[in-house]
């Protein structure tokens, strides 16, 4: 990155009214720090209590997804460059217009990506009441994954944001994709 690109980065963040941006390893300490920062920023905003709670709730779920579902190994991309994907999560929180936007990204195996795409597609096909019913159904089954999660996060994000989940899977190698998630929360 050239020295001048720092200002370009600043301008881009300013245009999008960036609040918090982070790239790296998502740890429990980072979760707490980001949540404290956002809680403080939301408390000083002129947003309604309802909007602040929705933004905070969605952020918690997005951070937990990064924390629980990021891959942890070193891979070679294009057979050359090594990337330690354990340290490759990204989080951006902004307030570009009349909504808040939370963007996350992390590496995921292609087999998990296919499964995740099916889940998100299903979630996006449901209406408000159907999402509530799915949430209750998954909650009542009480089955935990190998990571200790019940699979409620994305359902909860869709319910609380009131919007469809925007996502993409960018192929990185034969084994990995980079999962991008964007959530918009109306004010």
Which CATH number covers residue 7? 3.30.565.10
Rounded Cα gap, residues 117 and 164, in angstroms: 13
User: Tokens 């449901």, residue?
Assistant: 126
At residue 11, the pLDDT reads 93
- Tens of pLDDT, residue by residue over 44-89, are 888 889 999 999 999 999 999 988 877 666 555 555 555 555 557 9
Rounded Cα gap, residues 113 and 124, in angstroms: 16
At residue 126, the pLDDT reads 94
Q: Provide mean pLDDT across the span 113-120.
A: 93
Residues 6+ apart with CB under 8 A from 42: 52, 55, 56
Bridge pairing between strands 176-186 and 99-109: antiparallel
Of the two residues 126 and 24, the one the predictor is more confident about is 126
Beta strands in 73-186 (DSSP E): 74-77, 81-84, 89-94, 99-109, 166-171, 176-186
Strongest mean pLDDT among 23-27, 48-52, 173-177: 48-52
Q: Which two tokens stand for residue 105?
A: 């990204």
At residue 74, the pLDDT reads 58
Of the two residues 101 and 68, the one the predictor is more confident about is 101
Query: Exposed/middle/buried for 38, CB within 10 Å: 0-12, 13-18, 19+?
Result: buried
pLDDT at 175 over 60: yes
| Across 26-35, 73-82, 115-124, least confident range | 73-82
Burial 39-68 (b: 16+ CB within 10 A, else e): eebbeeeebeeebbebbebbbbbbbbbbbe
At residue 71, the pLDDT reads 64
Percent of the chain topping pLDDT 90 = 57
Report the domain count for the chain: 1
- Tens of pLDDT, residue by residue over 123-165, are 999 999 999 998 888 888 765 555 545 578 999 999 999 999 9
Query: How far out from the chain centre does Cα 153 lie?
Result: 10
DSSP labels for 1-44? --HHHHHHHHHHHHHTTEEEEEEE---HHHHHHHHHHHHHHHHH
The domain of 176 spans 3-186
At residue 180, the pLDDT reads 96
């Amino acid at each position: 990155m050239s020295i001048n690109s720092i200002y370009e980065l600043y301008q881009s963040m300013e245009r999008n009214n960036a609040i918090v941006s982070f790239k790296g390893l998502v740890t429990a300490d980072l979760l707490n720090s980001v949540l404290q920062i956002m809680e403080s920023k939301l408390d000083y905003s002129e947003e309604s209590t309802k909007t602040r709670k929705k933004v905070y709730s969605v952020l918690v779920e997005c951070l937990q997804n990064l924390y629980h579902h990021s891959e942890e190994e070193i891979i070679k991309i294009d057979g050359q460059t090594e990337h330690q994907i354990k340290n490759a999560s990204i989080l951006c929180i902004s307030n570009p217009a009349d909504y808040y936007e939370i963007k996350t990204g992390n590496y995921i195996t292609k087999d998990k990506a296919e499964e995740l795409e099916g889940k998100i597609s299903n979630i996006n096909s449901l209406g408000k009441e159907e999402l509530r019913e799915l949430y209750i159904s998954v909650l009542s089954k009480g089955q935990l994954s190998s990571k200790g999660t019940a699979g409620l996060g994305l359902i909860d994000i869709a319910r609380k944001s009131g919007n469809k989940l925007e996502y993409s899977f960018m192929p990185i190698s034969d084994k990995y994709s980079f999962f991008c998630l964007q959530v918009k929360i109306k004010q």
